[in-house]
Structure 1
């Protein structure tokens, strides 16, 4: 029974650790990727823009877009301009930010956000009146693809500007700060409203091949944008989200520590009970000339061998569960609280192997001290005890 309990504790420790690490790291990666796929891993803006929703014209002095694209870590770039406005129906209205995109818009990347309709083609020839609304805005205004919507944009000392758009599609990022505000449309509309020239842009979204390279590539990009522009990482744009997902690191560390303590305590109990049950055998081995170190090695190795079935069972169950979640996504989350609608899974082989090897190694180290109980056993008393 004690061997079964020991194996069960190891299996549970592996399962909980695998689920914690894979879902925790998966959530961090999924939220960062979704955020970056919408606003770019790094954005370049004019210093005049500050925190305004109405983007200022990006300065061309010192700006080397070609040099940015040629950086090995950069996947692609897209230009944009933004302006704030109001969408109005007969029953309701919503404050929005029109993000105007140009012909370099990465429609394939954006396709992962689409839940209805299609992504329009933006050619910068004339004015494309098709827009993409977020699922949140569409539901609030009771709109669907092919519907029309009136947008109102205000300018200082001028009459409001009205635009009628056709809804081409509906997107959903599950990130509240984005879904509550942004609609995607033609950059030429923003240029007209903002009195920009035909080639002016309000900013550049830079997409990287690997989001983990964001901090490393940032200084290189800063050198290529000119002193009148500034670069902003996606993680700096939404710091409240980053602060929230960083809590995962604390949770992961705490849960793994608790599981490790439980596993080690149970394995030490198994060792101690084995020593008590085999007191006579220890006495016989000592009588035959075995040293305390040799006997300790036998018991430690045997205890670790007892752990192996628990490690295998825990990995099979844990990885099986995670693979099913990754394929089918049957465990759902509230995106308003977690920024994702299903529990994401990151099956990183390094972490998966590290958990099993780490638990085995730490358990082996923890067994050294209690195994010294063997040295206290007298051969004469052990045989007499039998």
Structure 2
């Protein structure tokens, strides 16, 4: 067996260590490692979990990539998508495309006897992905929009329903205006209530039949205002974007969801910065504590270092002994940190104990992304970084004289 490894195991697991002066320091080192692991795991798991949750929510509602007409302006009333050069079949056949749904939008006002609310009616048709939208439903059911006549059933956001004191099966009057024409009135029945926790969506959108939008806007039966394209993995959004542009026609344009909602992109970028900052701070704290432990162990075992040198051990071998010894001290801290950290994350993942205000965070519960690669990487990263950093202070051993160290008390 390698001499430094053998000797470091001997002193690490020796019963003589139970009452030495470094006992408290060793415990402090282990606690710092455990806390570093716990904080790092929670930061990475909740930070990446929040990023994914926000991206998935907005993508599942609006699509990862939206296709619109170049004639679109800042109005919520969508312009007709140009069909020249638009190859819907080719779009759907792309490997990363999970689905495509058409829509058209028009702005209006919902009015009750006591209150009113401005809304955007997002009209959808027979290609509406009900299964994807089901994750947002909090009450009622999703109507069937078959584009056969006019379906008067709508889905309201929980925010709008609460503001207007509406519940499933209630009726509501909507008012839509057109230039130089009288207001258009429509009576709808609320069949479902949804909640995305994203204020930019919940404050505005209601889902209804695309034929109502076509009628209000004066569109033809086959006209659409845009397409929501859903990808199998929204992490591939940037890579697939140029491929999708090839099949949409030159009078239409594609827009990524992160470009459509820049406020959300800014919020997501904050997670990246926070994760990097906290991981760096925790790594520094752990490394500083472990280096202090190493230095104290060297000072405490000066006599042992002198004896080892007297018996012919080289400075390199002795440095390796103490670095291995310190890393072995870290192992219990690593185990405890991972057990406690993963345990806390599992509790949050399955019970959602910690809540958030969706007005500020776009999500109502702290989400958790437990990736084994991240868990292993954090532990290995702290262990390897500590081992490398300890090389420099371990050179203190070469300054210890065998004659003086044996007399050291």
**TM-score bin (small chain):** over 0.9
- Which residue number corresponds to residue 363 of structure 2? 340
User: Where does structure 1 lack aligned partners over 5 or more consecutive residues?
Assistant: none
- Which residue number corresponds to residue 21 of structure 2? none
Q: Alpha carbon RMSD of aligned pairs, Å?
A: 0.6
- The separation in 2 between residues aligned to 1:284 and 1:326, in whole angstroms, is 54
What do residues 77-107 of structure 1 show as CA deviations (whole Å, max 9, x unaligned)?
1000000000000001011000000000000
How far is 1:50 from its partner?
2.6
- The separation in 1 between residues aligned to 2:127 and 2:390, in whole angstroms, is 61
Whether 1:302 aligns to 2:325 is: yes
Q: Secondary structure of the equivalent of 1:85?
A: strand
Residue number among 212, 232, 246 corresponding to 1:189 in the alignment: 212
Residue number among 230, 237, 252 corresponding to 1:229 in the alignment: 252
Residue number among 140, 146, 153 corresponding to 1:123 in the alignment: 146
- Which residue number corresponds to residue 68 of structure 1? 91
How far is 1:51 from its partner?
2.3
What do residues 213-259 of structure 1 show as CA deviations (whole Å, max 9, x unaligned)?
00000000111000000001100010011111201111111111111
Residue number among 197, 205, 213 corresponding to 2:236 in the alignment: 213
- Which residue number corresponds to residue 331 of structure 1? 354
Please give the residue correspondences for 1:36-47 in structure 2 after superposition, counting only pairs within 5 Å.
Answer: 36-47=59-70
Whether 1:81 aligns to 2:104 is: yes
What do residues 243-281 of structure 1 show as CA deviations (whole Å, max 9, x unaligned)?
112011111111111111110111011111111111000
Residue number among 85, 96, 100 corresponding to 2:119 in the alignment: 96
What do residues 36-89 of structure 1 show as CA deviations (whole Å, max 9, x unaligned)?
100000000111113221011110000011101000000001000000000000
Please give the residue correspondences for 1:1-386 in structure 2 after superposition, counting only pairs within 5 Å.
Answer: 1-386=24-409
How far is 1:145 from its partner?
0.6
How far is 1:323 from its partner?
1.0
- The separation in 2 between residues aligned to 1:123 and 1:379, in whole angstroms, is 90
What do residues 134-158 of structure 1 show as CA deviations (whole Å, max 9, x unaligned)?
0110011111111000000001111
How far is 1:348 from its partner?
1.5
- The separation in 1 between residues aligned to 2:408 and 2:266, in whole angstroms, is 61
What do residues 110-137 of structure 1 show as CA deviations (whole Å, max 9, x unaligned)?
0000011111111111111000000110
- The separation in 2 between residues aligned to 1:385 and 1:137, in whole angstroms, is 78
Normalised by the length of structure 2, the TM-score is 0.94
- The separation in 2 between residues aligned to 1:172 and 1:29, in whole angstroms, is 17
- The separation in 2 between residues aligned to 1:250 and 1:57, in whole angstroms, is 40
Normalised by the length of structure 1, the TM-score is 0.99
User: Where does structure 2 lack aligned partners over 5 or more consecutive residues?
Assistant: 1-23
How far is 1:299 from its partner?
0.3
Deviates more, 1:212-221 or 1:51-60: 51-60
